[in-house]
Amino acid sequence: MSASLLDQAAAAASGAAANTTTDAPTGDGQPAATVALTALATGPEWHAAAHRCAAIAAQHADAVDREARFPVEAFDALKGERLLSAMVPTAYGGAGLSLAEIGTICETLAQGCASTAMIYAMHQIQVACIDSHRGASAWQARLLAQLAEQQWLLASATSEETIGGNMRTSACSVELDGARFRIEKLAPTISYGAHADGILVTARRTADAAASDQLLIVALRADTQLERRGGWDAMGMRGTCSEGFRLVATGLAEQILATPFADIADQTMLPVSHTLWASVWTGIAIDAVNRAKAFFRAQARAKPGTMPPAGLRLAEAVGLLQMMQARLSVALDAARAAHQARNGATPADAPLAAMLGFASDMNTLKTSISATALQVVQQVLMICGMAGYKNGTPYSVGRHLRDLHSAPLMINNDRIAQNIASLLLAQRPAAPGRP
């Protein structure tokens, strides 16, 4: 029964994993990072806990990046603070935090280690999909409770070989045999797949179904075989360990979310992903700008009474960063309003124009924040010059830049821009005199 499956996975999570992967090495013995987090932990307990975890993540960020290894120390801390279940409803043992609060945690973590923040964001996206679309499934409810109890980490396998970044189509399909399922997927990228306790996998409903008729399945570690097909020696986000795998998973039919994946993607996965990714990228930019400010102040102190030459660039970087923060804040308001509208009305009641507008806004959020964050850090590099270019100084931003170069590619901005264009075309202006 479902409970036994979950219990098997609990055993796997505590070290008796039955999958075919090997774990990354733990511990790095590296010295603490030169730049510590300066922000004081204020506000509620989860906020202070996020700052404590970010400080630990920052200590190991350079080693995680250099060795392209999973940020073990940061995740031990996150689990210790019970932040992996921060978005799980309180009824199932979580903290029941809102999307905006989770975004704040992502932003805070990203100021210490971008890979840690991105892994945390990707995990919370999976939690949001399960929680929003579990319906009356007892298995999915129990999964959330187990996740909170064991501090499980969830990963995602939406992309697929031959399909690329178009997550709204799948080549692989679910094989149902009575009450059990089996899926086999060639996944080019599963971030931290080898470290996850469960993976949410997209697949076609049946072997005969159209490529876009997809389901989302929760594959548990104990019943999943992962055969490595590619490594992760990447430009940035090196700690995400986003390797390629042949994934073979079995389990109970109840592990398949009842909601079609098209709805899960539109209502939850896309808006939550774009919001939390944007929070991560904003956090990276905040840390870079803090380094630029420190550099600028040091320059000013060295020559009292003179304005350092990079003043204009710093003003521009700060202005761009504030625009990112404002854009993110607008997106969070829109996501909250859409969530309330969905809960208060049937989907058929939601006006089509509002749905199209929300979808295009969530897409422009991703394309604009990903591009602007890179501009900000590029400005910081110009401000700090060689001190920013070299690794290991208090003003280094090489890792920030390399990590941020993943942002426009993580679902290619060109692909998203085409979707935005289609949505804008469908948003016909209302005729004069009509609502």
Ligand X SMILES: Cc1cc2nc3c(=O)[nH]c(=O)nc-3n(C[C@H](O)[C@H](O)[C@H](O)COP(=O)(O)OP(=O)(O)OC[C@H]3O[C@@H](n4cnc5c(N)ncnc54)[C@H](O)[C@@H]3O)c2cc1C
* Binding footprint of ligand X on the chain (CB under 6 A): 122, 155-159, 164-165, 189-191, 237, 240, 242, 406, 409-412, 414-415, 418
Total Cβ atoms within 10 A of residue 425: 9
Which DSSP state fits 429?
A: P
Give the shortest CB-11-to-ligand X separation in angstroms.
24
Q: Are 200 and 187 in contact (CB under 8 A)?
A: no
| 3-class DSSP state of 24 | coil
Give the shortest CB-239-to-ligand X separation in angstroms.
10
Q: Measured from the CB atom, is 83 or 420 closer to ligand X? A: 420
Give the shortest CB-236-to-ligand X separation in angstroms.
8
Give the shortest CB-125-to-ligand X separation in angstroms.
10
Q: Measured from the CB atom, is 191 or 372 closer to ligand X? A: 191
Show the DSSP H helices in 111-231 as ranges: 114-133, 138-150
Q: Measured from the CB atom, is 51 or 274 closer to ligand X? A: 274
Show the DSSP H helices in 385-410 as ranges: 386-389, 398-404
Q: Measured from the CB atom, is 234 or 323 closer to ligand X? A: 234
Q: How far apart are CA 190 and CA 182, in angstroms?
A: 18
Q: How far apart are CA 406 and CA 275, in angstroms?
A: 16
| CB-based closest residue to ligand X | 164
Q: Measured from the CB atom, is 59 or 242 closer to ligand X? A: 242
Q: Measured from the CB atom, is 144 or 410 closer to ligand X? A: 410
Give the shortest CB-48-to-ligand X separation in angstroms.
28
Give the shortest CB-34-to-ligand X separation in angstroms.
25
| 3-class DSSP state of 29 | coil
Q: How far apart are CA 360 and CA 355, in angstroms?
A: 9
Class of residue 52 by CB neighbours under 10 A (exposed 0-12, middle 13-18, buried 19+): middle
Contacts of 431 (CB under 8 A, 6+ apart): none
